[in-house]
């Protein structure tokens, strides 16, 4: 059997982390199965996969072009895959379209966060495209119950094809990454932090991550509590909100670019913050749990599937006052923080990468049942 994983992006991100863990786990479970990866040029993951001895093919799945469809068909004719698993919009479009003609392989698709376009026309076009691809899709892997329910409602052609496989992280790998040294610039940030309590948020500068809410929450918390600093990883330091909050609280709001190893930052934090409007299954929260760090997040799809309220974190309304109250409670009540940390560790104890990999093995046809 030959399994080909297709990614829309080559840079660091949730889908790339999931696929990397999936490939390494499948190698342990099914060493005789051939695996290949298709992804655009650039980023760190091409070299990572090659270091495992995985065949890597570079095709620009993140752009719209008829030549990409031709390149995918040519590649699949050459390598003759048994299973093609596509991850993200671009990969899902090209990988499933390539099967429509003479090519025959089992097609699996993962959205890694189901986010229909904004605006009536763009939304209609996107959902119509997904409905048209449903016939070329054998299974959709959903990473959370909320995501599965939304896909079934909005794309009727996929409703009977959804397999729920929640994301996990490997606690041992996360612990190893957490022990790695930070770059000098980041070490200086933690060394000079004026607060003994550090709230960290990790996420690209994207409307779905709702950074305006993060900045409003940070300002409200720092106004009330003098021993709290905020670390926003992946945010825009030059935006109006960022400049305003940094000016009001000098040395207490730290905004740094996205980094490859987020575990080393989370491990040095007191709590993880997530202000998203919607998520698939946020890996940063899973990493935090693996490190015994609780999370405070908005009560939205994806986040509510990951945080057990009052057990390993707190679910909040989508406003700064609700988030601030929760962070205040954690900062001012060490016993409550200890309880949430225990809950985070208990949640991580349930992560089983091998069982997770076998779930994919069943979807791929490698396991019975």
pLDDT at 101: 63
The half-sphere exposure of 160 on its side-chain side, counting CA atoms within 13 A, is 2
> Is residue 35 within 8 Å of 23, Cβ to Cβ?
yes
Residue 118: CB atoms within 10 A of its CB come to 8
SS3 of the chain: helix, strand, coil, percent, to 5: 45, 15, 35
Q: How far is CA 334 from the centre of its chain?
A: 30
CA angle (144, 148, 154) in 5-degree steps = 145
DSSP 135-181: GG-SEEEESSHHHHHHHHHH-GGGTTSEEE------HHHHHHHHTSP
User: Rounded to whole angstroms, how far apart are CA atoms 290 and 313?
Assistant: 13
Dihedral sign for Cα 298, 303, 309, 313, please.
negative
What is the third-level CATH fold of 2-168+352-364?
Rossmann fold (3.40.50)
**Closest C-alpha among 159, 143, 185, 132 to residue 17:** 143
Residue 107: CA atoms inside 13 Å, Cβ hemisphere, count? 21
73 contacts 80 by C-beta, under 8 angstroms: no
Q: Residue 267: which residues within 8 A CB-CB, separation 6 or more?
A: 178, 179, 291, 293
| The pLDDT of residue 181 | 86
Whether 296 contacts 316, CB under 8 Å: yes
Please tell me the pTM assigned to this model.
Answer: 0.93
Of the CA atoms within 13 Å of residue 90, those in its CB half-sphere come to 19
Whole-angstrom distance, CA of residue 363 vs CA of residue 298: 32
In which residue ranges of the chain is pLDDT below 50? none
Domain ranges of the chain: 2-168+352-364, 171-348
Topology of domain 171-348, CATH: Rossmann fold (3.40.50)
Hey, do 2-168+352-364 and 171-348 end up sharing a CATH topology, with the first three levels equal? Answer: yes
How far apart (Å, rounded) are the C-alpha atoms in residues 317 and 27? 42
> CA 93 to CA 105: how far, in whole Å?
15
Q: Which residues contact 324 (CB under 8 A, 6 or more apart)?
A: 217, 220, 221, 224
């Amino acid at each position: 059997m030959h399994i080909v994983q297709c990614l829309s992006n080559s840079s660091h991100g949730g889908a790339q982390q999931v696929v990397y863990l999936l490939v390494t786990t499948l190698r342990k479970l099914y060493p005789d199965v051939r695996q290949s990866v298709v992804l655009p040029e650039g980023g760190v993951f091409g070299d990572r996969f090659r270091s495992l001895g995985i065949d890597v093919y570079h095709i620009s799945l993140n752009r719209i072009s008829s030549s990409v469809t031709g390149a995918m068909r040519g590649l699949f004719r050459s390598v003759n895959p048994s299973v093609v698993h596509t991850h993200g919009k671009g990969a899902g479009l090209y990988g499933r379209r390539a099967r429509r003609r003479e090519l025959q392989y089992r097609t699996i698709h993962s959205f890694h966060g189901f986010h229909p376009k904004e605006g009536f026309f763009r939304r209609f076009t996107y959902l119509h495209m997904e409905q048209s691809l449903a016939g070329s899709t054998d299974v959709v892997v959903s990473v959370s119950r909320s995501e599965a329910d939304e896909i079934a409602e909005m794309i009727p052609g996929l409703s009977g094809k959804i397999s729920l496989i929640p994301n996990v992280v490997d606690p041992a790998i996360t612990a190893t990454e957490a022990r790695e040294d930070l770059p000098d610039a980041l070490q200086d940030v933690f060394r000079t932090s004026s607060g003994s309590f550090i709230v960290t948020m990790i996420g690209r500068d994207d409307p779905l991550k709702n950074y305006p809410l993060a900045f409003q929450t940070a300002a409200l918390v720092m106004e009330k509590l003098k021993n709290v600093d905020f670390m926003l990883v992946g945010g825009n330091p030059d935006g109006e909100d960022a400049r305003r909050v940094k000016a009001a609280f000098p040395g207490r709001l730290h905004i740094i670019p996205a980094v490859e190893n987020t575990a080393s930052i989370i491990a040095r934090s007191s709590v993880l913050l997530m202000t998203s409007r919607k998520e698939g299954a946020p890996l940063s929260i899973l990493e935090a749990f693996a490190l015994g760090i609780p999370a405070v997040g908005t009560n939205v799809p994806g986040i509510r599937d990951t945080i057990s309220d009052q057990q390993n974190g707190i679910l909040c309304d989508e406003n700064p006052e609700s988030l601030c109250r929760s962070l205040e409670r954690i900062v001012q009540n060490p016993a409550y923080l200890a309880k949430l940390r225990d809950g985070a560790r208990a949640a991580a104890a349930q992560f089983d990468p091998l069982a997770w990999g076998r779930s994919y093995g069943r979807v791929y046809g490698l396991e019975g049942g």
